[in-house]
Amino acid sequence: MATAETDTKTALQELLDERQRYEGWLRALDDRRAATPPHVYERVRTDYTLRLERVTQRLRERAEQLTATIEGMRTRLQSLRSREADRTDERHEFELRAAVGELSPEEWERRRGEADRELSAIAEDRRSVEGELAELDRIVALTREPATRAPQASHSAEATEAGEAAATSSAGFEPEEEAIAPEASGAAVTAGAVDRGEHHPLAATPDTGAPSIDDFVADCQKGLDRWNRILAPIDRELRLPHVGFHRNVGEFRQASVSPDGRLVGPEVWEAHRAEWLPNDDDRAHVASLMQPALEPGVMASWVAAPSSGIHGKPVEYEYLRL
């Protein structure tokens, strides 16, 4: 990490420690409230509160300096994961070609060694970036946490706060059908950016840089991209549903979300279940296609026939006699 970025990280940690110190003083001050003259209590409390506000503002300013660094590291991490996946696929391909006899044992050993060395280097670089990114995310997330609320100067103020909290908690999920922002994909979920405010029921926790739902979505999308290239000549396209669709765990487990990302009521979701998910007819159709082929040299209709048998033998070669 560059020296300027390290200095910013160090400064952020010092400011976080300072904020924690003021919050501790305010809590201790509240314990002494009953035994302290009111005007003395208010004077000291005002001093600590102003210090807390100043350090909180400085924290925000420092955190903004790391934003570009974090985004750059996320881009680099995504590139490393993509390279790692592609190189792993290549290694599997070499292994398959060797198994069917296209590559000699010597050629396979050479290519496997090259692939393993490159994969090891990529994995080491990826783990390093993940560690740095997780640390930066942790620090920046702490700067966004609201400071501890200072003790209220009067019971009337406390009552006002309680009333506001009660009003907030009574607010419900009113829309029967509501569109989630298009950017609320896997990456948006991990960043808590469902475009509804941080306290919305569908908001999620900040991304820590560790493998999470956005990595899973990206991996699935890579598979769909390959299939869509094959389907392009017949004008067909496969699409991933919204990350909140049909979830039984996580932030969306209690939400009814359509495949295109609309919040719908439970009745609407159930009415479209057979349309959005595999139904009995779909399962029966798939079962009808999955018919085995047991004769030598005959391939099931759902399996592509190989160009040759193992080690260049004919496809119908009898490898095992019972």
Percent of the chain's residues with pLDDT above 70: 73
Region 241-262: mean pLDDT is 82
d(CA 119, CA 112): 10
pLDDT at 281 over 70: yes
pLDDT at 211: 53
Q: Across-strand partners of 178?
A: 263
pLDDT at 2: 53
| Residue bearing the bigger pLDDT, 308 or 292 | 292
Percent of the chain's residues with pLDDT above 90: 9
The two tokens of residue 140 are 């920046």
pLDDT at 73: 83
Per the listing, tokens 């595999």 go with 278
d(CA 270, CA 288): 27
CB 148 within 8 A of CB 23: yes
- Cα angle 22-24-29, degrees, rounded to a multiple of 5: 95
- Cα angle 301-305-311, degrees, rounded to a multiple of 5: 150
Region 122-137: mean pLDDT is 84
pLDDT at 143: 63
Q: Across-strand partners of 263?
A: 178, 257
- Model confidence at 114, pLDDT cuts 50, 70, 90, reads very high
> Which sequence spans correspond to the domains of the chain?
3-151, 179-259
d(CA 301, CA 278): 22
Region 230-250: mean pLDDT is 85
pLDDT at 167: 40
d(CA 112, CA 117): 9
User: Which of 58-62, 142-146, 275-279 is the least confident region?
Assistant: 142-146
User: Which of 16-30, 40-54, 177-191 is the least confident region?
Assistant: 177-191
User: Which of 5-14, 214-223, 224-233 is the least confident region?
Assistant: 5-14
pLDDT at 7: 66
Region 163-170: mean pLDDT is 39
Residue 209, φ and ψ in degrees, nearest 5: 90, -10
CB 231 within 8 A of CB 237: yes
pLDDT at 165 over 60: no
Which of 190, 179, 82, 204 lies closest to 134 in space, CA to CA?
Answer: 190
pLDDT at 171 over 50: no
pLDDT at 4: 56
CB 242 within 8 A of CB 210: no
| Residue bearing the bigger pLDDT, 193 or 233 | 233
| Mean predicted lDDT score pLDDT of the chain | 74
Helix locations, 66-153, DSSP H: 67-99, 105-144
Helix, strand, coil content of the chain in percent (nearest 5): 60, 0, 40
Which of 292, 298, 302 lies closest to 316 in space, CA to CA?
Answer: 298
pLDDT at 140 over 60: yes
